[in-house]
Amino acid sequence: MAPSRTDEPLPSFTQANNEPYHGPPRNIKNIDAIEFSASLQPKNYNILGTHPDSRILFLDVNILDSSGRDPYRGDVLIERERITRVGTVLNVEELKRDPKVRVFHGRGRTLMSGLGDAHTHFTWNGGDLNRLGELGVEEHTLLTARSAQCYLDSGYTMCFGAASAKDRLDIVIRDAINAGDIPGPRYLANGKEIARRDGDLVPGITAYADGPDEMREVIRHHVDIGVDQIKLSMSGEEITEIRSAQDCYFSDEETAACVDEAHGLGKRLCAHARARDSVKMCVRHGVDVIYHASYIDEEGMDMLEKQKDKHVVAPGINWLIATLHDAAAFGYPNEKAQQVGYQKEYDASIRGLREMHRRGITVLPGGDYGFAWTPHGTYARDLSHFVNLLGFTPMEAIIAATAGVAKLFMRENELGKIKEGFFADSILVDGDPLEDIGCLQDHDRLNVIVINGRVHKAGREEYVAPPIAGQDGGVHPIVPNFPEVKREMQKNY
């Protein structure tokens, strides 16, 4: 194989269309077409704790249902864990009078599915990752629980674990969420990322394995302790300065063995794969979820296109952007980021991802929040990046983050849409995300958050029928609603 680190010009993917697009969402067909083998279906987790008599009625909401249909005004009824009526609720007058029904007056606000993140690290600390290895397991468990809650506070109801810093942290937190003990999104847990000894990125949080046999053994261990998927760390990362993002550390033989072992045990795999050759190995051997894919070339793109019903790509694009532009305050200036190669990688990555979107390869948002300059709570930046940089319409970005992540969960028939029979994981947004995708980043505009038919968040004004003080033209001027003032860095948290 030719060396992948190169100063050759990057593939231009000249066919990528950069014209603005206003038609129907283009990514529904490819998301629907994805078919992971039934033998890879994750365990059917459900969240406990929703009262069997619970009923929630959303009145006069703008329903953004993630089916691709334009939003429309209507009412939505939730009974117990699931959505039971959408659009027209037949006995609505009766329900409104029933004191046991929790009524939310939407006043035209947007009701949509909770969001999903395809590359989640609950165990990252928002600081120096190298220190995570030294952090006591008790403290680390608390930190992990806090990130889980932060995702839900941010409107996220589905997260796909992309590596845990310690063996069982992801697993324990997933189980605690499902038991109804702590708040958090639906979660598919991962173990430590598996890397070769000459290819690790963060020593203290890596499961080491060299060669097919050792890799199989580590995978068996992870499956034994209860992970839902396996993480391979195949390529480098420029910030290490010793392992280039253009270099792939895995061999074909190793990758094939990992896929064989994990799939044989009913688990899918995801991979840190920035390098050209790492992307090709993922496609050649069947690593289901490809992270980053920055240096994909023409040949890799063709291979991926042919297998696009078997893979999703989750670029975790915010890491590149924030490392280039938001890291100076943490001692990592733009010049440094450029010097080690992040601008080059960003340029390559944007070109590749736009081309994937054009070719109907499924690209999902989410990724690598929980580093110092990609703080927890800012997850919805990804949707803005998809719109502003990758050529997605706001509707396409929302479909990817909802129905797309539900597909990644292999639960597309009950998660990720505002649809009768689906689980009631929904958010009421003060704003129109199709007009302003950035409004999803503002926690103050996520007025109501419901997961599994249970209200996780709702402000005081949601509990009384209008008109109320502050919204009644000053008739009852008691305590107006002061908007919260936040500093720039806290704005989204």
- CB closer to Zn ion out of 289 and 398: 289
- CB closer to Zn ion out of 143 and 162: 162
In the complex, the smallest distance separating the C-beta of residue 372 from Zn ion, rounded to whole angstroms, is 14
47: amino acid identity, one letter: I
- ∠ at Cα 124 (201, 251), nearest 5°? 30
In the complex, the smallest distance separating the C-beta of residue 291 from Zn ion, rounded to whole angstroms, is 6
Residue 326 as a binder of Zn ion (CB under 5 A): the answer is no
Residue 368 as a binder of Zn ion (CB under 5 A): the answer is yes
Q: Which of 176, 178, 119, 185 is nearest to 150 (CA)?
A: 185
In the complex, the smallest distance separating the C-beta of residue 103 from Zn ion, rounded to whole angstroms, is 41
In the complex, the smallest distance separating the C-beta of residue 367 from Zn ion, rounded to whole angstroms, is 6
Long-range contacts of 145-150 (CB under 8 A, 24+ apart): 145/173, 145/176, 145/182, 145/184, 146/376, 147/121, 147/122, 147/123, 147/370, 147/376, 148/122, 148/173, 148/177, 148/182, 148/183, 148/184, 148/185, 148/187, 149/182, 149/183, 149/184, 150/376, 150/377, 150/493
From the list 40-48, 169-177, 363-371, 436-444, the region that binds Zn ion by CB under 5 A is 363-371
Residue 200 as a binder of Zn ion (CB under 5 A): the answer is no
Q: How far apart are CA 376 and CA 143, in angstroms?
A: 11
From the list 20-28, 42-50, 162-170, 483-491, the region that binds Zn ion by CB under 5 A is 162-170
- CB closer to Zn ion out of 371 and 423: 371
- CB closer to Zn ion out of 89 and 262: 262
In the complex, the smallest distance separating the C-beta of residue 392 from Zn ion, rounded to whole angstroms, is 21
From the list 19-27, 122-130, 159-167, 250-258, the region that binds Zn ion by CB under 5 A is 159-167
- CB closer to Zn ion out of 345 and 368: 368
From the list 36-44, 155-163, 222-230, 478-486, the region that binds Zn ion by CB under 5 A is 155-163
- CB closer to Zn ion out of 162 and 383: 162
From the list 49-57, 156-164, 384-392, 396-404, the region that binds Zn ion by CB under 5 A is 156-164
Do residues 192 and 206 lie in contact, with contact meaning Cβ atoms separated by under 8 Å? yes
Q: Which residues pair with 374 in a beta bridge?
A: 371
- CB closer to Zn ion out of 190 and 447: 190
DSSP 371: B
In the complex, the smallest distance separating the C-beta of residue 234 from Zn ion, rounded to whole angstroms, is 12
From the list 157-165, 325-333, 449-457, 463-471, the region that binds Zn ion by CB under 5 A is 157-165
Q: Given its phi and psi angles, is residue 292 left (phi above 0), alpha (psi -120 to 50 degrees) or beta?
A: left
Shortest-Cβ-distance residue relative to Zn ion: 368
- CB closer to Zn ion out of 271 and 429: 271
Helix (H) or strand (E) holding 460: none
Torsion of CA 375, 113, 71, 314, to 10 degrees: 50
Q: Which of 7, 10, 5 is nearest to 245 (CA)?
A: 5
- ∠ at Cα 65 (60, 67), nearest 5°? 150
Q: Which residues bind Zn ion (CB under 5 A)?
A: 162, 368
